[in-house]
Structure 1
Amino acid sequence: MTQARAPRADAVRNRKKILTAAGEQITENGPEVGMDEIAAAAGVAVGTLYRHFPTKTDLVAAVVAEQLARVADDAEAVLARVDAGARAADELTAFLGRVVEASATDRAVKAAAQVLGAEPGDHADEARAGAAVAAVIQAGQTDGDIHPDITVGDIYLLFSTAPTDQPPAARARWLALITPGLTSRPRRAQS
């Protein structure tokens, strides 16, 4: 059997430049930005862009996947801090705030946050994020700080309904309003 050859260093650099430029262009101009504009921002020929990403859907999916990996890395860092003794409720609230703030300013992060929980299955970074958030929730529930009925799905619901189109003060107020719903303080029954 022949082994697959590692990509050339210039191909790796070009792919990274394309993903960075695509993320920036999507943030500034939305997902409808043209492939020519992305290639120009990356400093590569359009053909080079298409060799790496045959369709715009492929490119946008790669940008979203990269952002989802960052969210998963953050969730795992949250879990590490909880395992080291940080309060789970505080860490979960701070994580939620970071994702919402990033989603408000970066459309690629917003798309990544909306992917969480959207479809079951085989997304490794989504699984990493979900496992870390579940462990943080469990730690907070064990400590009595996080309400016993909170689930990972609830956190994903909060991501998908966050007021990312509102000004920073409104987003901060939203976080302050939803935080008590995560904690173990008594809540009124739903009618």
Structure 2
Amino acid sequence: MSSPRPQRADAVRNRAKIMAAAHEQITANGPEVSMEQIATAAGFAVGTLYKHFPTKTDLVAAVVAASITAVADDAEAALSRTCDDGSPALEEITGFLTRLIDTAAHDHAVKAAARALAADPAALHDEARATAALDRLIHAAHQHGDLRPDFSVDDLYLLFSTAPTDQPAHVRARWLALLITGLTAR
């Protein structure tokens, strides 16, 4: 059985430009943005978008999946800094939450698009990667006595879902500071 043929370099570049433009346009205009607007922002004819993404739903799903992949990569990097570099787990959890909340504050439209789409198997895989990394990070914070022993990854997701992403940065920072104080074991 032969492996799939690799994409040409120009096709890879075109797809990357489309994804960047789609993310920008969905963030600015919401998931209702037209394919024509995305094509114009990417510098292509709309037919080029349809070559890469047969439907607008496919394109929006790809943007959402890329966002979930970025969150999973960030969670794994935070875990790596704790396990490999000795960075305090609670510091990494705080940094992860800060980045996630700030991203969500600017990407309301991507968040709305994610809720509107059915679960994508690739996105579920990346969500599982993020959950596994965060679970291990929380466990490391428990081991160091820095985090309440009853705090779990489910609690982390609950906290994120209630984050004041519609507020200015200084309000989000204050919310997180109060929250972390309440979560610490000491």
Matched to 2:69, the amino acid is: A
Matched, 1:132 2:133: yes
Q: TM-score, normalised by structure 1?
A: 0.86
CA distance in structure 1 between the aligned counterparts of 2:101 and 2:142, rounded to whole angstroms: 23
Aligned residue in 2 for 1:24: 24
**Aligned position for 1:44:** 44
Native 8 Å contact 2:31 2:113 kept in 1: no
Structure 2: state its 5+ residue gaps. none
Contact 2:23–2:63 (CA under 8 A) maintained in structure 1 = yes
Paired-residue identity, %: 61
Q: Distance in 2 between matches of 1:8 and 1:165?
A: 41
Residues 1:10 and 1:121: Cα distance change in structure 2 (over 3 Å): closer
Rounded Cα–Cα distance in structure 2 between residues aligned with 1:181 and 1:114: 29
Q: Tell me the TM-score normalized by structure 2.
A: 0.89
CA contact (8 A) 1:67 1:108 kept: no
Structure 2 Cα separation of the partners of residues 44 and 120 of structure 1 = 27
CA distance in 2, matches of 1:113, 1:146: 30
Find the counterpart in structure 2 of residue 65 from structure 1. Answer: 65
1:38 & 1:119 partners in 2: Cα distance? 23
Structure 2 CA distance for aligned equivalents of residues 120 and 57 of structure 1:
11
* CA–CA separation in structure 2 for the residues paired with 1:156 and 1:52: 33
Distance 1:38 1:105, change over 3 A: same
Q: Residue in 2 aligned with 1:183?
A: 184
Q: Give a deviation string over 1:22-58, Cα, whole Å, max 9, x none.
A: 0111111111111100011011111110121122211
What is the CA–CA distance in structure 1 between the aligned matches of 2:42 and 2:121, rounded to whole Å? 32
In the alignment, which residue of structure 2 is the partner of 1:188? Answer: none
How many residues are treated as equivalent by the alignment? 183
Alpha-carbon displacement from aligned partner over 1:95-154 (angstroms, at most 9, x marks no partner): 101110111112366459979xx9797622111111110110000001111111111111
Q: Please report how far the alpha carbon of residue 8 of structure 1 lies from its aligned counterpart in structure 2 after TM superposition.
A: 1.9
Q: Relative to total residues, which structure has the larger helix share, 1 or 2? A: 2
Query: d(CA) in 2 for partners of 1:183 and 1:120?
Result: 35
| Structure 1 residues 168 and 41: CA distance shift in structure 2, 3 A | same
Quote the offset at 1:181 in angstroms.
3.0
Equivalent in the alignment of 1:167? 168
